[in-house]
Every structure is written in C-alpha cells, then in structure tokens.
Amino acid sequence: MVMNPNKAQDVWKDAGEHGQVTVLELKRENQAKEQEAIQEFVERFQAITRSLRIRDNKGNLKVSLGFSNDAWDYLFPNAPKPKELGTYQTLTGPAHLYLWDEPLNYLDTYNQQQLIQLIQEKRPPMLIVEHDQNFIKQIATKKIEI
C-alpha cells in the first residue's frame, strides 16, 4: 500500500462538499503495514479524526471514515476497492434515488452539519430512515411515520 500525505491532503480539502461514510476492514493477517499507514494518516490529519470510530470486534479492526472513490484511489492506488465503497455514492454523483438508514450515525456535530447543508443545497431524491427529529425537520420535504 502506498500513501502520499500530500495527495491525501488534497483529497480532504473539499471534504465538506464531497464525503461519505464507508467501512474498511483489515483482517490483521500480515497487514501491520496497512494498519500503521492508516494510523499515521489519521494522526497527521486530525480534522478527520473527529469522524473516526475504531472498534475491535473478534480480531478485525473496523474503521468508519469519510471516503470518496477518489480518496480511496489516492490512498490505496493498487488495492481493490472494498464492496462497501460501491454501496455509497457522493451526493454529486448520479443516482435516481438515495436510500439511507440513519446517515448521522458515527458523524460528529461538524460533519452532521456539513451533510445537512449539502442535502439542503443539492436536494437529491432520497428516502431516509432516521430517528433524529431535528435532522428530519431540516431536510425532509415529506415525512412518513411508522
């Protein structure tokens, strides 16, 4: 895995406009270098650590970060994209309908506000399952209660 901090910084400069949440999983089988690289990246770019959640579950390191497809290509140019990246699209990408289940989970207040602002600006067609009434009030055009 090759990481260039300068290119990573370029990827994150517009994170308020383009961002998404994805889960990267390391199996911890001969992947110490990858773990070190991710930890080094996070330490160098403290702005994104607010939205970083790490938990250890049965020997797997799971990291929830904001990554666009371009960011993945910059950080891991020779690695295949995890299947989780394919399920998320940035709001500026093409989609007929976005289906989101509690998109604010694991986002800090700053990133929640960035997401709300982006949704308000772009007004993409969305179906969102959410319990946060404040979020719903800010972005919903129609509401269905079940």
Report pLDDT digits (tens) over 52-81: 434 334 444 333 344 455 556 656 667 666
pLDDT at 138: 94
Is a pLDDT exceeding 70 seen at residue 110?
A: yes
Which amino acid, one-letter code, is at 53?
Answer: R
Instruction: Please name the residue ranges forming H helices in the chain.
Output: 5-12, 32-44, 46-49, 69-75, 83-86, 109-122, 133-139
> What share of the chain in percent tops pLDDT 70?
36
Question: Tens digit of pLDDT for each residue in 20-45?
Answer: 333 344 445 556 666 666 666 655 55
